[in-house]
Every structure is written in C-alpha cells, then in structure tokens.
Structure 1
Amino acid sequence: MSVKLLHVVIGLLGDSDPTFRKACLVAAASLQSDTNSWLDVHQKTIFSNLIEKISRESRFAEALKSVEVAVQRNEDPFQRIKWLRFLNQDREPVDWDVPLTGVQDLLSTYVKHRKMAETVFMQVKYKFCSEVSYADVIGNYKILHGKYKKARKQYMNGMLSLHQVTGCNEYAC
C-alpha cells in the first residue's frame, strides 16, 4: 500500500508541477548516442530536481486523503497508475488490481495505525528517492514506448480492417 501511496502522491505533485511533463523528454535523450549531449545533461538535471521534489514535498497525509476521497466516491484510487504494472518485470510484484473492498480494508488499517503506516511510507519514499536512477528511467521508457507502438499498430490495423469491411471510402462512409 505504501508503494501505491507514493505513486499517488507523485501523481498529485505532477498535477501541480508542469516540470513532471518535461520528464517525458527522456525519449529524446534516450535516442541520443552521446550521453554528454546538452539534452542528456539537461534531462539528468530535470530528473534529479524531480526526485528532490518528490523527496521534499510528497506527504503521506495528502496521499491518504486522495485515496479516502476516491473510496468515498466509490472509485478506484489507483486507476491512474495501473499502467505501472507494465514496468514490473524484474522487480518485486505489486498487485495493482485490488478490489475496492480490499482498498477500503487497507485504508482502514492505515488510518487505525497511522503513525506506523506513515513511518513505512517514509521508508518507501526514502528508498525510492535514494535508489532510483536515470538509467532505469530510460530503460522503462523504452519498455513503455515499445508497448505503445505495438498497441497503436494493432489499433491502426483494426481500424483499417474495419474501414475495408464496412465499405467506407474517401467519399462516403
């Protein structure tokens, strides 16, 4: 649950700070062969600043409140971050498909044992911020980009097939 809460709070930080969107430029940096290029150095600096911001500004209470609000609305509080399962290849597995009743149970346990839960959250945050590396980000980007390209190609082929089956052409559909 603490790993999920960390992702929730990172999402909240990203909603309020456009610098998190710049981090997606890692694609351009990862295509460069020169690791000392201006773009690569700039991306590494942005990455370091984002990790520092996560370390400094991510709050357990904000993450917990976000999950509580989602549960009260009968929504999946982790829906936005379920794509992360595609990155979990060599790491400890995280179950992203927890039913809402399971989330409610975890939430009540976290609220009941708030001090201990916050301590665990802080340990997870510290471990993440101290161990995450720019090289991992590039590797994860490549995984996601490959999956995106495959899904996009399948979608495009499906749409083309549908277009041909329905007899649509450039003049009438």
Structure 2
Amino acid sequence: MIIVTTICVILILIVLFYGLFPGLTNSNDNSDNNLIIQNQTSHFTIDIENGTYLSGEGKSKMVDSNYSTLESYENFTISGYEAYEIELDNGSWYIVSLYKVDYNTPSSDWVYNSDVDEDGNAYIFFNSKGEYYGYFINIPSSSDPSTFENLSFLTSIFHYNH
C-alpha cells in the first residue's frame, strides 16, 4: 500500500510540475515559436515636438547627439542635434539627422518644405508659423539613384502637427 501511494504521489507531482512549468521541458518542435516571431513587426517612434514625430516599421536607435550651440549664421543658430539609425525589417537602413534651428527674428517663411538639396540629401524643414525656432531633418544620400527613394522614405515616416 505504501509503494502504490508513493508511486501515485510521484506521478501527481510530475504532472503538476510539467503542467505548471511547460517552458522547462526541452522540445525539438519550435514551429509555434517561429510562427510567433515571423508575425511580429517592430515599430519605432521618434518624438520631435508637439505631436510632430518620425514613425514607421523597423527599429531605431540614437547614434549621436549634441544639445549645445553647433553653428551660428547671420539669421539663425543650430542649437541642437540628434542622429538616429533606422533599420527596416527588409534589412535596409538610414541615418536620419534632426537639427533644431533658432532664429534671430520670427520666421514666417518655410512653414513646411521637403526636397533634395544640391548634394542629393533628402530633407524636411518645418517650423510653426511666426515661431523663433524650427527643425531641419535630413538623410545623407549615399548615391544618386537612392536620392528620391530617401526623400519618399523620409516623407513617409514624417508626421507633422500643423
């Protein structure tokens, strides 16, 4: 009777152990886990200000920053800088730079503008009309054929609170 009771208690403990801790068992069948990983998509959001942000599918990480005066010109000063590496799920990646621009007088020009500069760098410039500051966002071009792809990518991830 003692042997049968001991065997029953051991069987109940084994069933409870594997029922409560199923992750501890080694299984060669990872098909469920692979399915979950394949269906996950990463998403990034980079806040700029007041509901203006960069957002899309992929991953981002800050790779450089400077929050002091970088360069001064006659009418404005670049007062801050952040650079992000954005890696998309398809393996392509971009370096996106955000510059904060402070004006000596309120700027009512260029409330929003996106284009490619003479060097092929895609950019977006925006400010709130009449404000003393704005932002310049750019993606350095790695080659001429990618220039307009960079601009379409940058405008696709940019969300602007007018």
Shorter-normalised TM-score: what interval? under 0.3
Q: Which structure's residues are more often helix, by fraction?
A: 1
Bigger radius of gyration among the two: 2
Highest RCO, 1 vs 2 (Cα 8 Å, sep ≥ 6): 1
- TM-score normalised over the length of structure 2: 0.19
Q: Which structure's residues are more often strand, by fraction?
A: 2
